[in-house]
Amino acid sequence: MTKSFAITKLKATGQAVALASALLLAAPATHAQTPAPTITQIPSTAKWSERMALSVLKRSPWLQDPALGDSWGYTQGLLMHALEALEHQTHDPRLRTALQQYGDKMVDAQGEIHNKDYKPLDNSLDNINSGKLLFQLYTDTKQEKYKIALQKLHAELQQQPKTSDGGYWHKKKYPSQMWLDGAYMASPFVAQYAAYFKEPAGFDEAAKQLLLLEKHLRDPKTGLLYHGWDEKHVQAWANPQTGQSPNFWGRAIGWYGMALVDVLDYLPAKHPDRPKLVQVLDQLAVAIQKYQDPASGLWYQVVDKGGQPGNYLEASASGMFVYTLAKGVNKGYLNKKYRPVAQKGFDGITSKLIEVKPDGELNLLQVCEVAGLGPGTERNGSYEYYVGERIKINDLKGVGPFILASLELNK
C-alpha cells in the first residue's frame, strides 16, 4: 500500500465515537428502548455487505451510550441509505430496528428535524442526504411526521441559491459555487420526491443539476470532472479563465457517479434528459476504467496522478466507482464490459483495504476523512492539499459505498 497501515491505524483515533455518532439510534423517551444487538462473531461465510454492516453495528455502542450524540449529517445519511438497501435484500430485523430508531430520533411528532447539525438557514445541500431514508419510513409506518419532514426538506431546496444558469450553490457560504459533492446530496432526493409525490417538475430539476455540473466541470481531455466550479472566477482555488478547481479528487467524482445511477432509478423512461444522463454516465465510465490502477484494481485519491509522491489508493472513491459501474451494468445503462472492471475494483478493496479481525469484524482502511474548497486559502484544491488531508479507518464515507458496491455485485 502507498500509505502504511500503521499510519492509518494511528489516525483512527476516535473511530468508535465517530461510528457511534452515526448509529446512536436511541428510541424516543416516550417509547421503551429496544435492547442493543449483541454481535460477538461475524461469520466469514456471509456476504461482504452483511459482514460490513454487522461490523458497524458491532463496534458502535449506539444504544449502550446515549451520551455520545447523533447527527443528521450527510455521512450518516449515506450509511443509512446503504443499510436500507441491505435490509431490502436480507430483511435483517436488526437493520430495520436501526433505521426506524434513527428516524424516530431525528424527526419529532410534528415533523421537525431536531439536531444540532441540521441548520436549514445555511442552505447547505448536505442537509438533504439523510432525508432519503424518510420515504421508506413513511411508506412503512404511515406516520405523518415523515411526510412533513420530507416536505420541509423539499421546501428548503426551493430556497436554495442558484447560479445564473440555475445550478444549486453547494452552500450559502460558498456563493456562486457548484461542487460535485452536491450532486449526490440533492439530485437523487429531488428525483425520488418527484416520483413519490407525483410532482414531475422535480425530474427536470434533478436532471438539470447533473447536466450543469457536467457542463461546467468535465475535462474533455481526461473525461474526468473537477471538484468545483466558481461562476465568478474569484475564489483562490478557481482557474481565472474557467472557474474550475485544479484537480480531480476521487471521491468528488464518485459522488457524481452515484448520483447519476441513482437519479436514473426515478427518471421516467421517456424523459428528454434521460438519454443525456446515460451518455454522461457512459463517458464517465470510460474515464473511470482508464484511470483504474492496473495492479490493484483501485483508484487514487487524486485520480490522474497515481505515480506522484504522497498519492494513495483511496477506499471511498474506489467503492463509489465500483457501485457506479456495477449498478450501471445491472440497470442496463452501461455495457456489460464494465462488470469485470467493477469486480476487479471490489476485489482490490477486499484484498488491499480490508482488515479482518479474529472475531470477523471488518476494518476499512485508507479513507480520506474530508476535503473541500475554501473559503480560505488552506483548502486550495492543490494536489498537496488533497493528499495531505487526514486518512481514517472505517469512515462512513467509505463504509456506505462498500456496502452498496457489494450489493450490486451480488445481483
Q: Which residues are catalytic?
A: 181
105/347: higher pLDDT: 347
pLDDT of residue 243: 99
Which run of H or E residues covers position 155?
A: helix 144-158
- DSSP bridge pairs for 249: 302
Rounded Cα gap, residues 94 and 37, in angstroms:
7
Rounded Cα gap, residues 85 and 405, in angstroms:
11
pLDDT of residue 62: 55
Q: What is the pLDDT confidence band of residue 38, given thresholds at 50, 70 and 90?
A: confident
Cβ neighbours of residue 239 closer than 8 Å, sequence gap 6 or more: 233, 245, 246
- Domain assignments of the chain as residue spans, ordered by start: 5-409
Is the separation of the CB atoms in 391 and 312 below 8 Å?
yes
Rounded Cα gap, residues 225 and 129, in angstroms:
21
The string of pLDDT tens digits covering residues 184-215 is: 999 999 999 999 999 999 999 999 999 999 99
* Residue indicated by cell numbers 424516543: 28
pLDDT of residue 17: 38
pLDDT of residue 13: 38
The string of pLDDT tens digits covering residues 269-323 is: 999 999 999 999 999 999 999 999 999 999 999 999 998 999 999 999 999 999 9
Q: Which of helix, strand or coil describes residue 36?
A: coil
pLDDT at 362 over 70: yes
At residue 233, what is the residue type?
H
CB atoms within 10 A of CB 410: 12
pTM of the model: 0.92
Q: What is the DSSP string of 75-100?
A: HHHHHHHHHHHHHHHH--HHHHHHHH
Rounded Cα gap, residues 146 and 166, in angstroms:
29
* Cell representation of residue 376: 480560505
pLDDT of residue 37: 58
Q: Cα 149 to the chain's mean position, in Å?
A: 21
Segment 166-172 long-range contacts (CB within 8 Å, at least 24 positions apart): 166/208, 166/212, 167/208, 167/209, 167/212, 167/213, 167/216, 167/231, 168/125, 168/209, 169/123, 170/124, 170/125, 170/228, 171/122, 171/123, 171/124, 171/125, 171/126, 172/121, 172/122, 172/123, 172/124
pLDDT of residue 316: 99
The string of pLDDT tens digits covering residues 238-271 is: 999 999 999 999 999 999 999 999 999 999 999 9
pLDDT at 112 over 70: yes
CA dihedral 407, 180, 264, 163 (to 10 degrees): 160
pLDDT of residue 191: 99
pLDDT at 392 over 50: yes
Quick one: 171 exposed, middle or buried, by C-beta within 10 A (0-12, 13-18, 19+)? Answer: buried
What fold characterizes domain 5-409? Glycosyltransferase (1.50.10)
- What rounded mean pLDDT belongs to the chain? 91
Lowest mean pLDDT among 2-11, 279-288, 380-389: 2-11
The string of pLDDT tens digits covering residues 125-138 is: 999 999 999 999 99
Q: What is the pLDDT confidence band of residue 171, given thresholds at 50, 70 and 90?
A: very high
pLDDT of residue 36: 52
At residue 76, what is the residue type?
Q
Percent above pLDDT 70 for the chain: 89
